[in-house]
């Protein structure tokens, strides 16, 4: 009876014993089987539903990309077109077999014997990405072709789903050869080259059919990082690029497309320099490159989107002013070139800004973009020389700085203009004694006249008095970009670092607008598909007090109007002008920076070897023994300003200055001298060429001057360069782009 009771407990006879303990938490095999079947049904159903719903679309805009159209500031006059896809489709038979194999080795080694999608590769890529082994793509060549030709580059789940199903359908409709051919014709290789034929021309100046194994492997390498692995543009990435190149070749050996002996005999190919596009001839290329860089750096349109095209860009360039700057450079520089060796090194650059708006209204990058690829307007490897001295004075006035003797620094403060005078700090000489031009000694000289004559010893001491970090802060506030590496030594006063005409034009535009800094712009409007894009906010700010900026303007007017000023040529503009000249060490650059109430313009003549990019001396070029800022650069400035402002009523400066200004200088028959061309570097000890005085020199003269020396102690400036030059700092002869070029020592 008891057995019957136990057997019937909990239900009818014959039932299974109830599971107890932890076993109750485990699903039964029926539940597991049912769940798996349900998931499979859902997956299969989703697959077939997706396959049915997703169709092969028409080619996207990337396959038939448009041009970008650039307009002058009027919004109507076309300046240039750019961004049209550089592509020439070729058949697979017109591509070297080794190049085909190199691409397969780099991107999809199982292409010919696997399906359009590779779940294994997708899972591996997802795992490597999630575990920190690097972001990887699990896409096959078919999927990449679908992305290039039918979809877009957006990294979204929706696009990946579409890519998955379109690839499967495409694999059923087209052969592997057709898909590979399409992939090779739509992939981007850098240098605005879409497709392997355009890439072959861009990098090796040959057809795709003629590519060597090494060249084909390099192009395959570019698919992974087109811009970064272009070694002509980024030689610093050589190690990474060659590592990828070796990976491609090793894969070819592994797949049997290349023998080990052939692999060992393959050498890394020589990479050709970028070839300018013919449509960018004249100034168009320089302007396009500057505008595109502005759009990218200010996050308006990135470089990848610009390549796809379709943008309408209204630039800030005003055609009449642009034409005026081009004509002035042609007439005053290039038309005067002779047959002397140094003439082939002459390069000119200029930028003009409307101080009231910050708009760049004219930009001159060089003689022709198709002949000179690097823009002299934005080249930041040449020293601005003494055009930086107004920044030092601005900092002194802004911070109410005092001399080492406790006297306020004003335009009438008197300094010691002795040649090679050691710069003195609170603890004595700091180990720097700059030369004045032609080793002239000026005796006791006030700040304004020292600006007129560009006296190095005065402004180097002033930089020390103010504090070099304060000077740098003021420079940034005036508009010098953060990436301009200004040295924290008194040599900064002599412009001993690399800067571009665009950099310096921003500084002078701020001074012209009474100390109000408006970030420059090259772009007024950008539209895509009829929609306006958002431009960055450029709210003006008072960088330095108006009285400070206006006082500096009054001092720079003296450089133009004074009898001994180096910027007299600015008078030819017919406008009230404030300006400063600058000449780099060993005559590798000469500058003229100045402004009227309506325009701030900087012009530079640079010495550059057209074949190597090496910085070269300009001695004896343009039929002159030495190129000074007040020479050809100043003449370009004056002629441009006169033409650009023709028909505009002449205005005088509206200045609010300090009361402590020197009286107007009297006219003199003494010739004005330009700024120095050599300086000595800072050292831990005073330079041996400077004999210390028997008693310590005064750190700074007081504002009560003694009778200044009216005549320099040396003769008139020499017209011949010194027979031997010992440049210090490693810049002379340095290639364009050399980081050392931004901090090397230069004279005024």
Q: For each successive 10 residues of the chain (748 residues), what is the average pLDDT?
A: 45 56 64 66 52 54 74 95 77 96 93 72 56 54 75 52 62 82 90 90 94 98 91 90 96 97 96 80 96 96 86 97 98 94 96 98 96 93 97 98 95 97 95 93 96 97 98 98 96 97 99 98 94 95 98 97 93 98 94 98 96 91 93 98 98 88 57 45 37 40 39 37 32 32 34
Give the DSSP letter of residue 581. E
- On whether the CB atoms of residues 221 and 241 are closer than 8 A, the answer is yes
403-432 core/surface letters (b: 16 or more CB in 10 A; e: else): bbeebebbbbbbbbbbbbbbbbbeeebbbb
CB 554 within 8 A of CB 658: no
Taking alpha carbons only, the member of 411, 250, 386, 354 closest to residue 597 is 354
What is the DSSP-derived secondary structure letter of residue 426? T
Q: Which single residue is written with the structure tokens 């039932």?
A: 15
Q: For the chain, where do the domains classified as CATH 3.40.710.10 start and end?
A: 331-742
List, in order, residues 6 or more apart from 216 with CB less than 8 Å away: 96, 98, 99, 100, 101, 102, 103
Instruction: Specify the pLDDT at position 123.
Output: 61
Phi, psi values for residue 404, rounded to 5°: -60, -20
On whether the CB atoms of residues 586 and 677 are closer than 8 A, the answer is: yes
Reported for 75-78, long-range contacts at CB under 8 A and 24+ positions apart, including other chains, are 75/314, 75/524, 75/525, 77/319
What is the number of residues in the chain?
748
Whether 59 contacts 65, CB under 8 Å? no
Strand boundaries in 83-181, DSSP class E: none
Which residues are CB-neighbours of 48 under 8 A, at least 6 positions away? Answer: none
CATH classification code of 87-265: 1.10.3810.10
Query: Residue 682 has what pLDDT?
Result: 40
Q: Could you tell me whether strands 68-71 and 311-315 are parallel, antiparallel, or unpaired per DSSP bridges?
A: parallel
Ranges in the chain annotated CATH 1.10.3810.10: 87-265
Q: Is 14 exposed, middle or buried (0-12, 13-18, 19+ CB in 10 A)?
A: exposed
Q: What pairing do the DSSP bridges indicate for beta strands 531-532 and 414-416?
A: unpaired
Alpha-carbon distance of 603 to 626, in angstroms, equals: 17
Q: Which residues of 499-532 are buried (b: 16+ CB within 10 A; e: fewer)?
A: bbbbbbbbbbbbbbbbbbbbebbbbbebebeeee
Residue 356 phi/psi, 5-degree rounding, is -75, -20
Q: Which CATH class is domain 331-742?
A: alpha beta
pTM for this model (two decimals): 0.65
Enter the DSSP assignment of 666.
Answer: P
User: Is 372 within 8 Å of 286 (Cβ atoms)?
Assistant: no
- Is residue 570 classed exposed, middle or buried when 0-12, 13-18 and 19+ CB atoms within 10 A define those classes? buried
HEC sequence for 455-497: CHHHHHHHHHHHCHHHHHHHHHHHCCCCCCCCCCCHHHHHCCC
**pLDDT for residue 272:** 86
């Amino acid at each position: 009876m008891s057995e019957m009771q136990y057997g019937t407990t909990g239900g009818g006879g014959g039932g299974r014993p109830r599971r107890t303990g932890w076993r109750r938490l485990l699903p039964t095999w029926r539940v597991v089987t049912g769940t798996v079947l349900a998931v499979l049904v859902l997956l299969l159903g989703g697959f077939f539903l997706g396959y049915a719903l997703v169709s092969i679309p028409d080619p996207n805009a990337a396959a038939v990309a448009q041009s970008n159209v650039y307009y002058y500031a009027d919004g109507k006059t076309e300046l240039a077109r750019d961004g049209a896809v550089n592509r020439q489709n070729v058949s697979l038979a017109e591509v070297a077999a080794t190049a085909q194999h190199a691409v397969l080795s780099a991107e999809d080694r199982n292409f010919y014997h696997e399906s359009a999608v590779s779940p294994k590769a997708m899972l591996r890529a997802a795992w490597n990405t999630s575990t920190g082994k690097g972001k990887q793509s699990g896409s096959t060549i078919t999927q990449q072709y679908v992305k290039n030709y039918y979809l877009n580059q957006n990294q979204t789940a929706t696009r990946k789903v579409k890519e998955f199903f379109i690839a499967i359908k495409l694999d059923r409709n087209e052969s592997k050869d057709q898909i590979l051919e399409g992939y090779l014709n739509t992939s981007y290789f850098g240098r605005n080259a879409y497709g392997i034929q355009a890439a072959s021309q861009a990098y090796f100046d040959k057809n795709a059919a003629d590519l060597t194994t090494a060249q084909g492997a390099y192009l395959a390498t570019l698919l992974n990082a087109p811009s970064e692995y272009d070694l002509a543009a980024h030689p610093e990435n050589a190690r990474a690029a060659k590592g990828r190149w070796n990976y491609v070749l090793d894969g070819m050996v592994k797949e049997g497309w290349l023998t080990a002996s052939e692999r060992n005999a393959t050498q890394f190919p020589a990479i050709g320099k970028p070839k300018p596009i013919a449509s960018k001839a004249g100034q168009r290329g320089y302007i396009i490159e500057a505008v595109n860089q502005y759009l990218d750096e200010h996050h308006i349109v990135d470089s990848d989107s610009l390549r796809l095209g379709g943008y309408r860009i209204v630039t800030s360039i005003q055609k009449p002013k642009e034409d005026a700057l081009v004509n002035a450079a042609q007439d005053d520089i290039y038309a005067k070139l002779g047959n002397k060796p140094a003439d082939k090194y002459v390069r000119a650059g200029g930028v003009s800004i409307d101080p009231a708006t910050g708009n760049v209204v004219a930009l001159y990058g060089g003689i022709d973009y198709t002949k000179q690829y690097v823009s002299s307007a934005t080249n930041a490897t040449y020293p601005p020389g003494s055009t930086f001295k107004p920044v030092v004075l601005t900092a002194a006035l802004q911070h109410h700085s005092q001399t080492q003797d406790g006297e306020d620094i004003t335009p009438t403060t008197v300094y010691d203009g002795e040649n090679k005078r050691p710069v003195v700090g609170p603890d004595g000489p700091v180990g720097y004694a700059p030369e004045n031009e032609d080793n002239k000694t000026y005796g006791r000289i006030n700040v304004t006249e020292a600006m007129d004559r560009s006296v190095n010893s005065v402004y180097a001491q002033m930089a020390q008095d103010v504090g070099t970090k304060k000077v740098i802060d003021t420079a940034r506030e005036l508009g010098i970009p953060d990436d301009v590496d200004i040295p924290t030594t008194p040599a900064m006063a002599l412009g001993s670092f690399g800067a571009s005409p665009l950099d310096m034009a921003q500084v002078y535009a701020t001074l012209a607008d009474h100390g109000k800094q408006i970030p420059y712009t090259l772009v007024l409007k950008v539209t895509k598909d009829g929609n306006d894009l958002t431009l960055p906010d450029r709210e003006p700010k008072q960088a330095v007090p108006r009285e400070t900026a206006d006082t500096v303007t009054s001092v720079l007017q003296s450089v133009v109007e004074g009898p001994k000023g180096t910027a007299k040529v600015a008078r030819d503009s017919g406008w009230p002008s404030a300006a400063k000249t600058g000449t780099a060490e060993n005559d590798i650059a000469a500058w003229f920076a100045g402004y009227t109430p309506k325009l701030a313009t900087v012009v530079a003549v640079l010495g550059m070897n057209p074949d190597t990019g090496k910085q070269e001396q300009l001695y004896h070029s343009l039929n002159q023994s030495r190129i000074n800022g007040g020479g050809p650069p100043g003449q370009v400035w004056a002629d441009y300003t006169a033409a650009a402002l023709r028909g505009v009523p002449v205005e005088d400066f509206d200045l609010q200055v300090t009361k402590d200004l020197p009286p107007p200088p009297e006219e003199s028959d003494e010739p004005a001298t330009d700024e120095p061309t050599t300086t000595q570097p800072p050292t831990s000890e005073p330079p041996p060429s400077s004999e210390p005085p028997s008693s310590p020199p005064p750190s700074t003269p007081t504002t009560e001057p003694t009778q200044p020396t009216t005549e320099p102690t040396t003769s008139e400036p020499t017209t011949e360069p010194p027979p031997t030059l010992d440049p210090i700092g490693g810049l002379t002869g340095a290639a364009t782009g050399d980081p050392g070029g931004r901090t090397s020592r230069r004279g005024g």
